[in-house]
A and B are shown apart, each in its own frame.
Chain A
Amino acid sequence: MPVEYRKETPSQTAGPYVHIGTVPVACGIAMRQNERLDSIDAPGPRIVIEGLVLDGSGAPVKDAMIELWQADAQGRVGEHGLWGRAVADFKDGRFFFHTVRPGTLPWRAGRMQAPHLTLTIFARGINIHLHTRVYFPEDAAAQAEDPALNRIEQVERRKTLIAERLGDGQYRHVIRLQGDRETVFFDM
């Protein structure tokens, strides 16, 4: 008999009321009012990411909660890693992260990864959170060597992980859950 282990607790959807437990002020609860989790205070060049999650019909997902995990400006994670949380606007679905541009960060066996943000998406109808990345359009050279992008066999799909540059330090990124130009999601 092989060695037996415990099984991971199974996921369930975060549901439409995810805000109550994660960002209570977003749904009208007067608790933790001084927490601004979508705005990350760390040294480095400031950036703003405007995001939008679209469903398979192209409609904005207005009840999503999005989490951010990224390297700091020097490319360090662990205790230097930066974490944030944003909620989609109830009217138009847009969300924003105000953060710093991450540095180039280490991968396995001495390799490096192009600067990127990791995003996880939680929402009603999403049974287990989706894990994706956002890269920056200025980093094409580093992206050509990036282990995650290179794992995506369909070269065209890699573009779904590159943000659109709006201006200096300003980016827009659309996450498509399904259909044409479906965003790449990872299992890591």
Chain B
Amino acid sequence: MNAKIQPGENQPGRTAWQGDFVRRDRAWHPPAYTPGYKTSVLRSPNCALISLEQGPAEKTGPRFARSMLHEFDNDLTINYARATGSGGEAIGERIIVHGRVTDEYGRPVPETLIEVWQANAGGRYRHVKDGYMAPLDPNFGGCGRVITDAEGRYFFRTIKPGAYPWPNNGSDWRPAHIHFSIFGEAFAQRLVSQLYFEGDPLIPLCPIVNTIPDKRAIDSLVARLDMGEMRPFDCLAYRLDIVLRGRQQTFFENLTEGM
């Protein structure tokens, strides 16, 4: 069977030909070549990126309808066991991760797909290529997704992932992290990154974290403990707000270039 993800409905009030997205600040993102993270050495282009204006394909992007989601896609504590039929719950520290997605001008980014993946509480991924000695949790897959609401808010429930070792400078250790992928309202906003947890002493030691040159940029990936949203006798909460590239306003509506 070929069930396709269908693009979502066209969003009323947001047309495809609005202003451009502001340029990416490439000095804020990690550069391609970061020898402290050895794998980047042979996987980084040497030539400069070719700068180009945005056309209609960059100013629009795929939409994902809520109808593609399964009931427990945003609850990683149970979604794997439900899918396999075992019905159990994942082992680990129960947490809610939530936040708001806006653009650089502070406008909410509603109805956009966020995908997440992570190791289990022992630091082991459910992946054929992960051979770390920590055991798999029979009730944890580590795969989730959510679509932001009308105000750009998202939340998912999971267990706090464990730190894990990886070969780089001998055995380096990754701080606890959750990978995330977000689409935004246009192709130009596509972003994949990682969320870290406040107070983790492994963050400043991590060669992957340190591919980011600016300390303030690293801080913006650290989710804060949010006692205001913890659920009593259930789970702690962490908050991370996500910022996507800003879309400039359309000041001159009669310039319908690209139409």
Contacts and interface: CB of A to CB of B under 8 A. Distances in A.
B30 A21 contact: no
A30 to B, nearest CB: 6
A34 B129 contact: no
B91 interface: no
B42 A90 contact: no
Contacts of A39: 2
B191 interface: yes
Interface in A1-40: 5-22, 24, 27-32, 34-37, 39-40
A56 B50 contact: no
Contacts of A18: 117, 179, 192
Contacts of B26: 187
A44 interface: no
Interface in A44-72: 55-57, 59, 61, 63, 67, 69-71
A7 B219 CA distance: 12
Nearest to B178: A21
A166 interface: no
Nearest to A76: B56
B56 A7 contact: no
Given A7-B217, A8-B245, A128-B32, 11 more contacts: A7-B216, A15-B194, A17-B119, A21-B142, A21-B180, A29-B80, A67-B190, A69-B61, A78-B60, A107-B55, A109-B258
Contact of B221 (A10, A105, A130): A10
Contacts of B212: 10, 12
B234 to A, nearest CB: 24
Contacts of B4: 35-36, 40-41
A126 B30 CA distance: 10
Contact of B42 (A6, A36, A57, A77): A57
Main secondary structure of the interface of B (DSSP, over half): loop
The CB with the most chain B CB atoms within 10 A, among A20, A37, A113, A151, is that of A20
Contacts of B190: 67, 120, 129
Contacts of A126: 32, 40, 43-44
B179 A152 contact: no
Interface of A: 5-22, 24, 27-32, 34-37, 39-41, 55-57, 59, 61, 63, 67, 69-71, 77-79, 81, 83, 90, 105-110, 113, 118, 120, 122-130, 147-148, 151-152, 157, 177-179, 182-188
B29 A128 contact: yes
Contact of B52 (A7, A183, A187): A187
B30 A127 contact: yes
Contacts of A118: 57, 187
B243 A21 contact: no
